[in-house]
Structure 1
Amino acid sequence: MQLRLIPKSLAVRIFFLMAGGIVAATFLSRWVIEKLYTDELERLGQTSAIERISDVVRVLDTLPRADRAVAAAGISFERLSVSFPSTVGGAGEFDPMLRDKLARGIRRPPGKVRFEALAPQPCTPAAVPDCDDLAKRFAAELALADGQPVRVEYTTRWVKLGDADWVPWVIGIVMLVVLAWLSVRIATRPLRAMAEHAAGLGRDLQRAPLDEDGPTEVRDAAHAFNAMQAQIRRQIDERTQMLAAIAHDLKTPLTRMRLRLELIDDDALRGKLGEDVSAMQTLINEGLDFARSLDAQEQAQRIDLSAMLDTLCEDARDSGQAVQFSGDAGIVVPARANALRRVFLNLIDNAVKYGGSAAVSVSREGAQIAVRVRDSGPGIPPEHLEDVLKPYYRLEGSRSRETGGTGLGLAIAANLVAAQSGQLRLRNHPLGGLEAEVRIAA
């Protein structure tokens, strides 16, 4: 199975983009600050070294040669050492600008001063407790006013950005990430509400419209959605009214045709024409029922589904049909009672008509209720299992119009189940026969 690294949720995608940007910006800012901090510390360290060396040289210049060793020992400490070599050595140049700056500070010609940068001494916390904070070591060699060579070494202190300094950064990141998540939730809440409303719109066109509040873009989208809902509802109402009017208007000529059929002396012809008139009447009625099934206006209520199915099966047995019922008792669901009754009547009638018998069962399966109606007929070719749920689709042979089918019974049942957030599926049972399964929320 292919791993999908990109989340499907828009809110999660936006959140990851914002959180990733916040974290990246934080680390980049930290790097820039450390870089600037390091450069500034290095500059200050160089300046401090030059000033401290200059102070030492100026003090030694004022002292007699015999007193300089004692003075040097007195001013030396772990980061400053003064020695008196025999000659001014050729120390490596570090930076001519720093050398010249030191020369100007002690009033020496630039060529008479040697200045170099050395590696820090090895860190020995026992001897130097703060050696971790030591940075660079500088050394200068020159001749004092009376010509005596002197070497001064000075190590600058480096105040590093320690690990503890990350605490406010981490707290800031967490706060920004939480703020980003809240912002994403607020921004995508109208989209979730619109998606939930759109999902429910297919089940109930009469539901209340969306609230038209919030930012301008959200109000405009909600207004457009409400206008679409009103337009769809109006079009379905007009279509249903039109089909009802057509069906009503056709009743009069069909009644006249039935009366005139009685005047035909030929019994065979009269019977055939009577069957055609009855087929027309059935087609009109079921077409009107199909249109009405798309616009369910019945209010949902809690019903005892087990009792309803038991009653339907008992009524079918009383009329001589081979119908059996089994399953859990006392299953109560929120549903439209008349619509469900119509669904199961259609399924039981189809099972008896095309399979000779019907076995009805009901069970609770997790958060859903499953009702199965199985017949003992030949079943349906697998490639037609989805097609028979479409309106006016008929199979040849036993499921043809000659047996009374119009191709609307299963389509009406599927629409009525879908209007209750359920699903109607067909399958050929492994032990034979066609099984219709209705699943609705418990």
Structure 2
Amino acid sequence: MKSFGFFHLKGIGGQIAALVLASTVALHLVVTTAFLIGRPDRSDAPPDGAHQLTDAALLLGSAEASERPRLVADLARAFPRLGIEILAPGTASVEESDNPHLHGMRRHLGRGYKAVQLTPSVAGSRVGVELPDGTMIAGRVEGGPRPWFWGGPWLMALMTAFICVSVLGLWAARALAAPLSSFAKAAENFSIDGGAEPLPERGPEEIRSVARALNRMHERIARLMSDRTRMLAAISHDLRTPITRLRLRAEFIEDEGNRKRMLMDLDQMRSMLESVLSLLRNDRKVEAVTLVDIASTLQLVADQFGDMGHVVHYDGPASATAAARPDDLHRGVTNLVENAVRFGAEVTIRLDISGTTLVIDVEDDGPGISDARKQEMLEPFVRGDDARTMDESTGFGLGLSIARAIALAHGGELSLHDRKPHGLIVRMQLPLWQQPRLAA
């Protein structure tokens, strides 16, 4: 019975098979009905007006000559649109014609009768029938013959097939595209903080199975990330205590040089631990999007580094409002300036608004980064090239990756560019307005 699972109506295959079967049955019913009504086996039957004239000619041909005027008058009253009359001898003007009405009439009249086209030959013209005794009657055959491509059973079959295929295509597009669109939207809003709604489990069985699998995957990933964060938080808590004890013990070392080197190593361990935890916690942090004065934020960052003795300038408008996460934005720009002042003597923060995009450039006059390593530098724990080698004062390769994650969470991007004649430009591009989104 497993081989018949394809025809299960809860699945896509079964529903499509059922729709194809129903369409085929409907197509056959329409073709059969059209056949019974149109009777293609009697294709030589004359049209309605010609049929009436043919019956009238057969009736008059079998009647006595003295009865024909009365019969013609009766036929004229019964079929006023036919316009039947008896023509006087020698008054009929006959022309050659390939009218399909005449072919059908000649088949039904038989021998002794002659159907001819009377002039003028136009649609709705008069057709004459010569009786066996030479008498000519005439009648009007309304309308010309229908085109060969119109009215046949095959046309009904073609139209029905087109309708069935259209219905099948629309149904398949709706049944498959709608769930896939919801999958794409769920993937776009994917987060590990549990804020995203689970995928609706509706539609064919295959779609419901995929939705259930994605929901379970989301739960497993969220649980894994939560366990990882709790584990690292516990490690951080446990490591702070021995680091503090080691720092206290290092204070009692009599050798000044060894004491300074040990304290420096302990400070570096503590800074590295806090930086890693900061990066990991950023994955789970979701800050609300609000209107922020970007210019004031950048000026504040420049002033803070200026108070610490660094040369940091702000170049841009006095006010520029945009939708952003204020704490995340401040943190991202601070990381960029920290990198810049570490390798350059003078730093400039530039703000430019171009259309619907807000561009923040952090420029330094340091040694810069080679083109081959610009993309690599955006990854976590990757430090600069030989000109930016880590020493006691450098970081751990997390500043750019955190700033990039913040830019992506705002719907923007972060890129590295060369500064002339030397130095580096870190460019953060953000949209002026954005819909509230989950953190990247």
Structure 2 length normalisation: TM-score? 0.67
* C-alpha contact (below 8 Å) 1:53/1:154 kept by paired residues: no
Whether the 8 Å contact between 2:183 and 2:199 is mirrored in structure 1 is no
> How many positions carry a matched residue from both structures?
367
Q: What is the CA distance between 1:224 and its match in structure 2?
A: 4.8
Q: What letter matches 1:48 in structure 2?
A: Q
| Counterpart for residue 156 of structure 1 | 141
Aligned residues of 2:199 and 2:215 also touching (Cα < 8 A): no
Out of 250, 253, 276, the residue aligned to residue 242 of structure 2 is 253
Match status 1:207 vs 2:195: yes
Look up the SS of the partner of 1:369 in the other structure: strand
For 1:96 and 1:369, how far apart are their aligned partners in 2? 82
Matched, 1:426 2:430: no
Q: CA deviation at 1:313?
A: 0.6
For 1:186 and 1:303, locate their aligned partners in 2 and report how far apart those are by CA, in whole Å: 43
Q: SS state of the match for residue 323, structure 2?
A: strand
CA RMSD of aligned residues (A): 4.6
Q: 57, 62, 87: which is aligned to 2:61?
A: 57
* Equivalent position SS for 2:381: coil
State the distance in 1 between where 2:389 and 2:118 align.
Answer: 99
- Alpha carbons 2:291, 2:324 under 8 Å: kept: yes
Q: Distance in 2 between the 1:183 and 1:40 partners?
A: 44
- Equivalence for 1:121: 120
Matches within 5 A, 1:104-119: 110=111, 113-116=112-115, 118=117
Match of 1:405 among 375, 395, 402: 395
Contact 2:57/2:131, CA 8 A, preserved across alignment = no
Residues in 2 aligned to 1:119 and 1:378: alpha-carbon distance in whole angstroms: 104
Superposition pairs of residues 224-373 of structure 1, within 5 angstroms: 224-262=213-251, 264=253, 266-373=255-362
Call closer, same or farther: CA 1:143–1:300 in 2, change over 3 Å: closer
Q: Find the aligned partners of 1:92 and 1:298 in 2 and give their Cα distance.
A: 88
Distance 2:177 2:107 in 1: 64
Q: Gapped runs of 5+ residues in structure 2?
A: 1-26, 148-161, 433-440
Structure 1 Cα separation of the partners of residues 44 and 104 of structure 2: 17
Partner of 2:152: none
Which of residues 102, 106, 117 in structure 1 aligns to 2:109?
A: 102
Of the structure 1 ranges 338-347 and 241-250, higher mean CA displacement relative to structure 2 is found in 241-250
Moved more, 419-428 or 342-351: 419-428
1:82 is the counterpart of 2:87: yes
Distance 2:420 2:267 in 1: 38
Gap regions ≥5 residues in structure 1? 1-24, 104-109, 124-130, 163-172
**Where in structure 2 are the equivalents of 1:138-153 lying within 5 Å?**
139-144=128-133, 149-153=134-138
Question: Is the contact between residue 369 and residue 439 of structure 1 (CA under 8 Å) also seen in structure 2?
Answer: yes
Greater CA deviation, 329-338 or 390-399?
329-338
Distance 1:40 1:434 in 2: 90
Change (3 A) 1:228 1:37: same
| 1:211-249 C-alpha deviation (Å, 9 max, x unpaired) | 748657677665554444333222222111112222222
Contact 1:92 1:116 in 2 (8 A): no
